[in-house]
Structure 1
Amino acid sequence: MNNKEPIIILKTKNLSIGYVSKKKQTSIASNINIELKRGELVGLIGANGIGKSTLLRTLTQVQNPLEGTIEIDGKNVSDFAPLELAKVMSLVLTEQITSKNLSVFELVALGRQPYTNWIGTMSKQDTIAINNALEQTNIIELKHKKCFELSDGQLQKVMIARALAQDTDLIILDEPTTHLDMYHKAYILKLLQRLAKDTNKTILFSSHEIDLAIQLCDTMIVFSAERVTSNTPQNLIKNGIFDSLFPKDLITFDYNTKTFIIK
Structure 2
Amino acid sequence: MKKESSNIVLKAEELSIGYNSKTTETIVASNINFELKKGQLIGLVGANGIGKSTLLRTLIKVQPALSGSILLNDHDLRSTSTAALAKQLSIVLTEQLTSKNLSVYELVALGRHPYTNWIGNLTATDNKAIDNAIDLVNIEDLKDKKCYELSDGQLQKVMLARALAQDTDVIVLDEPTTHLDMYHKAYILKLLQKLTKETGKTILFSSHEIDLAIQLCDTMIVMQKDNVVCDQPCNLISQGVFESLFPKDLIAFDKTTGSFRVSK
For Structure 1 versus Structure 2, the TM-score category normalised by the shorter chain is: over 0.9
Q: Which amino acid aligns with 2:156?
A: Q
2:65 alignment counterpart: 65
SS in 2 for 1:225: coil
SS in 2 for 1:171: strand
Counterpart CA distance in 2 for 1:67 and 1:18 is 10
Pairing 1:81-230 to 2, within 5 Å after superposition? 81-230=81-230
Counterpart CA distance in 2 for 1:224 and 1:92 is 24
Q: Give the superposition deviation at 1:23.
A: 2.5
Counterpart CA distance in 2 for 1:77 and 1:172 is 15
Counterpart CA distance in 2 for 1:217 and 1:30 is 24
Counterpart CA distance in 1 for 2:68 and 2:25 is 15
Q: Which region of structure 1 is more displaced relative to structure 2, 175-184 or 249-258?
A: 249-258
1:32 alignment counterpart: 32
Q: Percent identity?
A: 66
Q: Give the superposition deviation at 1:5.
A: 2.7
Q: Which region of structure 1 is more displaced relative to structure 2, 3-12 or 249-258?
A: 3-12
Q: Give the superposition deviation at 1:141.
A: 1.2
Q: Give the superposition deviation at 1:42.
A: 0.1
Q: Which amino acid aligns with 1:208?
A: H
Deviations 1:108-148 (A, max 9, x none): 00000000001100000000000000000010111000000
Q: How many residues end up aligned between the 2 structures?
A: 261
Counterpart CA distance in 1 for 2:83 and 2:136 is 25
Q: Which amino acid aligns with 2:73?
A: D
- Normalising by the residue count of structure 2, what TM-score does the alignment of the two structures yield? 0.98
Pairing 1:12-23 to 2, within 5 Å after superposition? 12-23=12-23
Q: Give the superposition deviation at 1:4.
A: 5.6
2:242 alignment counterpart: 242
**Unaligned ranges ≥5, structure 2:** none
Distance 1:138 1:4, change over 3 A: same
Counterpart CA distance in 2 for 1:77 and 1:243 is 34
Segments of 4+ moved more than 3 angstroms: none
Deviations 1:154-185 (A, max 9, x none): 00000000000000000000000000000000
Counterpart CA distance in 1 for 2:16 and 2:227 is 11
SS in 2 for 1:94: coil
Counterpart CA distance in 2 for 1:31 and 1:46 is 16
**Unaligned ranges ≥5, structure 1:** none
Deviations 1:186-205 (A, max 9, x none): 00000000001100000000
Counterpart CA distance in 1 for 2:137 and 2:217 is 18
Deviations 1:37-75 (A, max 9, x none): 000000000000000000000000000000000000000
- Normalising by the residue count of structure 1, what TM-score does the alignment of the two structures yield? 0.98
